[in-house]
Amino acid sequence: MNTRCILLLVLVFLGNTGSATAAEWVYLDNDYLRIGVDKSRGACIGYFAPKRSQENLLDHFDTGRFIQQSYYGDPDDSKWVDKPWVYNPVQGGSYKNLASEVSEFRSDDKTLFAKITPRNWAGGQLLGEVTMTETITLEDYFAKIEFQMNYDGTKTHKPRHQELPAVFVRPEYDTLVTYNGDAPWTGAELTRRKPGFPNESVTMTENWVAYVNKDDIGVGIYVPGIENATCYRYQEANSACSYVAPIKTFALTPGLKHQYTVYLTCGSIEQIRLRFKVLHASSDDSASKPASSN
């Protein structure tokens, strides 16, 4: 497999902060795909497309977009603008576009690896008690992303829906497609919808969900073992996006280590479903392993 890694420095304007930040894009390629992370914003995944395409499928408007890790705990007196919020380690950074800290980064022609100290989304502070890692490889038509979060805090939080992971795609990919019936992997009819705002619940019996455009082309996300998701579409002109997150309920507790695997692919909805079916049949990967404490 012909795989290579490219580092590209570009200047972007982050969200609505009014200040410019140099984005550090690092790309991994194979014969079929290109995937990219922004080292300046938690090494979040902000680029994914077919190898020869010039059109990025993902949204990286601010530090809360991208494909990235995000976890939720108890209320902590922080405020998202004027809305009371919760303890919320986010890989990319805070809502004010303060970036998280990438403490380790390695890349070669086969793998991207990052170790991140996240920020509290509303509070803005770096959370030294939380460590996130991300390992990305390309395998034919799939990007395989292995996420891990270690929580070394002393507080035991209540169980919450956790995003595994948060996924933001470009707004023209506005139709959510999944299978929610009781006969998975049999080719039974898919369900389509155009989500509204705020969040809507999704059942994904085949453990995958996709966003496609008017031509039925788009991006699919497969998280083995996960059957539920949340989604919305935000349609404000300058910051529109389509969002989905496979979810699992668990609590942030001292010593917690949570790891899971995500697969991405892109193409027609028929290609997306067939590839995930083949992957499901050939893999014992449990992907979202039970949360555990040491």
Q: How confident is the model at residue 283 (pLDDT cuts 50, 70, 90)?
A: confident
Q: Is 289 within a domain?
A: no
49: pLDDT strictly greater than 60: yes
Looking at residue 3, what is its pLDDT? Answer: 40
User: Is residue 146 exposed (0-12), middle (13-18) or buried (19+ Cβ within 10 Å)?
Assistant: middle
Residues 18 and 145 grouped into a single domain:
yes
Looking at residue 284, what is its pLDDT? Answer: 62
Looking at residue 54, what is its pLDDT? Answer: 85
Residues 145 and 235 grouped into a single domain:
no
- Pick from 101-105, 177-181, 283-287: least confident: 283-287
21: pLDDT strictly greater than 80: no
Phi, psi for 41 (deg, rounded to 5)? -135, 65
Looking at residue 200, what is its pLDDT? Answer: 97
pLDDT in tens, 73-108: 999 999 999 999 999 999 999 999 999 999 999 999
Looking at residue 294, what is its pLDDT? Answer: 41
Residues 149 and 11 grouped into a single domain:
yes
CA–CA gap between residue 261 and residue 221 (Å, rounded): 11
Assess contact for 14 and 38: CB atoms under 8 A: no
Assess contact for 208 and 164: CB atoms under 8 A: no
Tell me the pTM: 0.90
Residues 204 and 120 grouped into a single domain:
no
Domain enclosing residue 233, as ranges: 158-164+177-211+227-256+268-283
According to DSSP, the residues that pair with 75 across neighbouring strands are 86
Cβ-based neighbours of 267, under 8 Å, separated by 6 or more: 50, 141, 217, 275
Assess contact for 265 and 275: CB atoms under 8 A: yes
Total domains in the chain come to: 2
For β-strands 130-139 and 119-120, DSSP reports them as: unpaired
- Pick from 19-33, 113-127, 154-168, 210-224: least confident: 19-33
Mean pLDDT of the chain: 91
Q: For residues 117-138, give the mean pLDDT.
A: 99
Residues 135 and 28 grouped into a single domain:
yes
Q: Is 218 within a domain?
A: no
